[in-house]
Amino acid sequence: MKTKDKIIQVSLRLFNEKGERSITTNHIADEMGISPGLLYYHFTNKEAIIRAIFEQYTDYITQSIVPPDEHSDAEEFLRQYCEQIFDSIWRFRFLHANMPILLEKDNELICQYLQTHKYLEERASEALHWLIEHDLIQIDEAQIAILVDLMRLVTGFWVGFSMINQKRQRLTRKQVSQGIIHLIALLEPYGTAQGERLFASLKEPYLKRA
Amino acid sequence: MKTKDKIIQVSLRLFNEKGERSITTNHIADEMGISPGLLYYHFTNKEAIIRAIFEQYTDYITQSIVPPDEHSDAEEFLRQYCEQIFDSIWRFRFLHANMPILLEKDNELICQYLQTHKYLEERASEALHWLIEHDLIQIDEAQIAILVDLMRLVTGFWVGFSMINQKRQRLTRKQVSQGIIHLIALLEPYGTAQGERLFASLKEPYLKRA
């Protein structure tokens, strides 16, 4: 692995494990056994590393959260959609834990964030239309934009919400995936009879693990 | 007004207007025309001022968000509930904009936050039960806890969500109150015929202003 990629990988691990605020570029260089000078050759500061991690997050999102295929099985598609959203949240959880503050410090990162945000909104809107076409939910066109906002609120702030609720102790993967129940709960009341059965079946494994 | 109260009032205004991170205790003393020494006599540091502001926020919440009266008119009660929640968010918006980071720095503040959080959860749960009793929504007991979480997510993170969406430009009061539409949208799909009419009427003024 190239030094540059290794710096990104090690930084992501340290930020996730110990919180971004307590990790300096010196800690990262130390952990890798390289000189701070070599690190600065690749990244001028910590913000540049965070932007590079955010690019990886965006790549991960755009590769894993894709529009439904016309042949997709509804349950399979929704399960994948939920799992992959919360998997991306788990892998990049330090970003989700501190998004407002990371964005306050860095205008370039805001532009990256809004692009990814837009991509996720489009996929969410598509998924809702697909559920309507497949007679799984019934919802007015006017309500869709608000429901998409709510989906973005739940997925974007689930880590912050959970961390505060448990006094900022480190989160487990299971706790992060509990957000899936809340995401499904947004759709559930719009479910047709067929949709209701589908949502109940989707939620089941997460309720068992709750 | 006592100097101590005046410090709280001026700090709240400066934090809301310019962001908490860019305001130091020296800025606050300057704005009031007092010496930093006098400020430190009342508050040992900025965190102590923030905790005092949080106490005011809690007082405001516990005085304005109260259980429904048995004689309350449903529309009047819900309108008050929504307005007062978002009014408290507006008055203390710097807290809402930076909650995760303020809590990360201060364990004492976390305990205050969780208490207020619990109070708001209890009021939300009570409000939902009251809506069920008045045949305005239909919802399973099991779904209530999740709906309460969703209500807390929307109200607790609305400011952070809106700020990011508009590149962290300062929010207007109108933008903050747009959160009410999203709060009502959580309840709407559970509405009975009578409830549906109520929610449509509640949302109307905010949709017009959107």
The string of pLDDT tens digits covering residues A130-153 is: 999 999 999 999 899 999 999 999
| Interface touch B164/A113, C-beta < 8 Å | yes
Shortest Cα–Cα distance, A189 to chain B (Å): 6
Predicted local confidence at residue B75, as pLDDT:
87
Residue in B98, B117, B158 closest to A101 by CB: B98
Distance of CA A188 to the CA centre of its chain: 21
Predicted local confidence at residue A164, as pLDDT:
86
With bands split at pLDDT 50, 70 and 90, how would you rate the model's confidence at B153?
Answer: very high
Classify domain B1-44 at the CATH topology level: Arc Repressor Mutant, subunit A (1.10.10)
Least confidently predicted of A68-72, B51-55, B171-175: A68-72
User: What are B60's strand-pairing partners?
Assistant: none
Predicted local confidence at residue A115, as pLDDT:
93
* pLDDT greater than 70 at residue B33: yes
In SS3 terms, chain A reads as: CCHHHHHHHHHHHHHHHHCHHHCCHHHHHHHHCCCHHHHHHHCCCHHHHHHHHHHHHHHHHHHHCCCCCCCCCHHHHHHHHHHHHHHHHHHCHHHHHCHHHHHHHCHHHHHHHHHHHHHHHHHHHHHHHHHHHCCCECCCHHHHHHHHHHHHHHHHHHHHHHHHHCCCCCCCHHHHHCHHHHHHHHHHHHECHHHHHHHHHHHHHHHHHC
Helix, strand, or coil (residue B191): strand
| Interface touch B165/A114, C-beta < 8 Å | yes
**pLDDT tens-digit readout, A6-57:** 999 999 999 999 989 889 999 999 999 999 999 999 999 999 999 999 999 9
Please give the average per-residue pLDDT across B138-164, as a whole number.
93
User: How many residue contacts between A and B have a Cβ separation below 8 Å?
Assistant: 104
Predicted local confidence at residue A103, as pLDDT:
85
Please give the average per-residue pLDDT across B114-121, as a whole number.
94
**pLDDT tens-digit readout, B87-100:** 999 999 999 988 87
What tokens appear for A34 in the block? 């390289």
With bands split at pLDDT 50, 70 and 90, how would you rate the model's confidence at B170?
Answer: confident
Please give the average per-residue pLDDT across A105-114, as a whole number.
89
With bands split at pLDDT 50, 70 and 90, how would you rate the model's confidence at B185?
Answer: very high
Q: Find the angle CA(B198)-CA(B117)-CA(B200) to the nearest 5 degrees.
A: 10
* Domain residue spans of chain A: 1-44, 52-209
With bands split at pLDDT 50, 70 and 90, how would you rate the model's confidence at A61?
Answer: very high
* pLDDT greater than 70 at residue A91: yes
Predicted local confidence at residue B210, as pLDDT:
66
Q: Are B109 and B50 in contact (CB under 8 A)?
A: yes
Please give the average per-residue pLDDT across B189-200, as a whole number.
95
Helices (H), chain B: 3-18, 25-32, 36-42, 46-64, 74-91, 93-97, 99-105, 107-133, 141-165, 173-177, 179-187, 193-209
Classify domain A52-209 at the CATH topology level: Tetracycline Repressor; domain 2 (1.10.357)
Predicted local confidence at residue A210, as pLDDT:
66
Nearest to B16 by CA among B163, B116, B114, B199: B163
Classify domain B47-209 at the CATH topology level: Tetracycline Repressor; domain 2 (1.10.357)
Q: Which residue of A has its CA nearest to B97?
A: A100
C-alpha to C-alpha distance for B3 and A144, rounded to whole angstroms: 50
With bands split at pLDDT 50, 70 and 90, how would you rate the model's confidence at B150?
Answer: very high
Q: Who's near B164: CB < 8 A, 6+ residues apart? A: A99, A100, A103, A110, A113, A114, A117
Residue in B101, B161, B189 closest to A190 by CB: B189
| Interface touch B164/A103, C-beta < 8 Å | yes
Q: Which residue of A has its CA nearest to B181?
A: A146
More confident residue, B206 or A11: A11
Shortest Cα–Cα distance, A206 to chain B (Å): 13
Contacting residues of B for A185, CB less than 8 Å apart:
143, 146-147, 150
> Considering chain B, what is the average pLDDT of its residues?
92
**pLDDT tens-digit readout, A165-179:** 887 778 898 889 899
* pLDDT greater than 70 at residue A199: yes
Q: Write the ipTM.
A: 0.92
Nearest to B155 by CA among B106, B131, B120, B197: B120
Buried b or exposed e, range B4-31, using 16+ CB within 10 angstroms: eeebbebbbebbbeeebeebebeebbee
Mutate: best of A131, A151, A153, A170, partner B, most B CBs <10 A: A153
Q: List Cβ<8 Å contacts ≥24 apart for B99-102.
A: B99/A160, B99/A164, B99/B156, B99/B160, B100/A97, B100/A98, B100/A100, B100/A101, B100/A160, B100/A163, B100/A164, B101/A98, B101/A100, B101/A101, B102/B20, B102/B50
Shortest Cα–Cα distance, B56 to chain A (Å): 20
**pLDDT tens-digit readout, B56-90:** 999 999 999 988 877 778 888 899 999 999 999 99
